[in-house]
Structure 1
Amino acid sequence: MNAMSHDDRRVHLNAAGLGRMPPAVLDVLTTWTRFEDRYGPYELEDRLDDVLHREVHERLAALLGAPSRDTVLCTGAADGFAAVLSRLPLGPRDRVWTTPYESAANLTALFALRARTGCRLEVVPLRPDGDMDLEWMATHAGGDLALVSVTHVPAGCGIVNPVEEIGDILAPHGCLYAVDASYAVGQLPVDAGRIGCQLLTGDGWRFLRGPQSVGFAYVAPRVHDVLAPYGGLPLAPPHGAAVAALNAALARPTAAFAPAPGDLASLLRAAVEDTPGIEVVAPGRVQSGIVTFRHGELPAALARRRLADRGIVVWKTVAQETPLYLPGRGVVTAVRASVHPDDSAEDIERFSAALKDAVTEPCPLPTRNRRPLPTAPAPHAPPARPAAVLTPRPRSSGRRHLTLVSDGPSDTGRLRPGA
């Protein structure tokens, strides 16, 4: 359970990974879990009927800028996305776009879609500064474009992708536009109507500070109509007690869902940039309250542990969480810190001092064989070039799974056997 007591003096800078449940939310989760244990799931469903089928949907509608009748509950954003893709009636003539910032979970669903339908899966190129190439998108969109999947804020870095501008580009073409708002909702304004998407997914346990294993989606009526002949939307419902706890988290004052103050995110970024030996992974011109960084000598896992010993909670992120972006830029592991509106400037000051202390402490690992941080090639995409096409590599014998990797910005998203 992701809650912390009032007297816990740790600085929690991991809202992007696992937000702290407020005591009132934890109390709801505990109460209804005990109730089900005593009386059973049917009695729980009966007692929570209004919460499960009306109240939580009205709150989600207010949060997402969508009609309450079009919100659905699921066990997580990735599950909701995969459920929709599992029934989409595409074919070999259809094109599907993703971006280098797509999550591994969503890429798995996209590869499954391609394997089932034979559709062409392409990666939208990036500009040299790391922003998506909107001019390329406007030039190459067309009637055969069936699905576009965009991550609002990626797991591996803090860039804010221009989901509304992309919606304007795609609107004339009639394709299904899906936005993963898992790392955006609760820290940034998210409005499905303004974005112009037909599918928007999110998790309840990150910046919203609800329980784990409960997510949600806005699914436009058009998507339901497309899926209806193929069995509808195959979603497993989350646990009733978890939904009640999410409802309690959403019921908190609206100020709790205001974007983190710009100066707070700026303070966090400045604290990282001012630390010797640190490189910030921050592509693009617009950043959120998530800062990803690495140190030339201190491994990310050890940095996270040292910060934890000093009362600072952060997250270690790995390249395979964003496999089309981070590996091609030489990033294997990194530290991710994220601010929430409940954090304070004093919290950032404590983090800054702890980080400087952590990186100056002698490293117990031998450093003579450590290589300097590689210079990442700038992402490039000449307008005349087609998008990278995701193609599978043959699976070698003796391997039991596949790992998504990128061989660099010009070879985005090939699939090759993993270790």
Structure 2
Amino acid sequence: MSGTRVIVGRDPETGGGRRVTFEGSRVTRVERSGDGRGPWIAPGLVDLQVNGFGGHDVNAATPSPEAISAITTALRARGVTTWVPTVITGAEADICARIDAVSTAIRHDPAVAAAVPFVHVEGPFLSPLDGPRGVHDVAWIRPIDAAEVRRWSERGSIGYVTLSPHGDDAPAEIARIVADGVAVAVGHTHADPAHISAAVEAGATLSTHLGNGISAELPRHPNPLWTQLADDRLRCGLIGDGHHLPPETFTAMARALGGDRAFLVSDAVEMAGSPAGRYLTTVGGEVELTADGKLSYPDTGYLAGSAVSLADCVSWVTARTPLGLGAAVRMATEVPGRIIRDLTGGAHDVGRLIAGARADLVLLDDDGRTVEVIAAGETVA
């Protein structure tokens, strides 16, 4: 797209008028303007945890670069212009094959190269216990191994790895991983508060879907949730699909974390965007998707990821919590965008509208629902 285009609407954080000018694929000016009417103008949404979407799975038995391209296209149409493929627990060869597929897609598809900054590996260094482990295959759970992470990095860019720091050797392995340029997130863990604090001291900086991937019953205090909420060195992902966290729990966690530490993730899987029904998945077997969007293993109550996009999470937070649209947008743009900027040395400058940034915008209504998507200056939905 060539030529200059101007979008006039409102700023979700201030409530005032906003005018965004862009030429081609780049923003040239952002200024306060207008009368405070029109759509809310936000940066393209940034999702740090996507396992699949629209019938395509990052963790398919036969990993496919075409699937990564298809997920990119489907998410972009919903306003998610930056996303991080999440590779889950498996044999090392399988993890490497999935990283290879993402790396190939980045090399050969310019849209993927623009949308995908790196890979997130969730596992295989997780709790072996039922409950905290979630749906990860216990057969492939193994101790933290910085050397294995280094081998993954030879196949592609690894932004962060989610692990459980429950072992006494965790701090040393975490320090080695971080020294190699890969961030560490705490998740799917039965670690006690002392182990989590030791992990942060060793360099862990993130928490993966806080409040999930943990025992259903915990001591009143101390417990690992309070430890992660209280440590200002951790930025924490929260799944905003209405099933992983009740509204009041989500609200309390977001308020405790504040505006600079909480970020939204979808944790979307292959069935996201599909109609209700039972599905046989390539990862984990049979699952049930209900009409209200809950995805779980039949007759167990265990959740099997989420079936929504990050755009749906924004509208859920806006509609079902007192936090408001501005907070929801910040958790889906500025905070995860800053994490990506930090992990890429600024190579992927996403999640904010400033002069020189890529012209990725999403226009929202008062309920936080996407009404128009502009990616690299092109209207895509």
TM-score by length of 2: 0.30
Greater strand fraction, Structure 1 or Structure 2: 2
Greater helix fraction, Structure 1 or Structure 2: 1
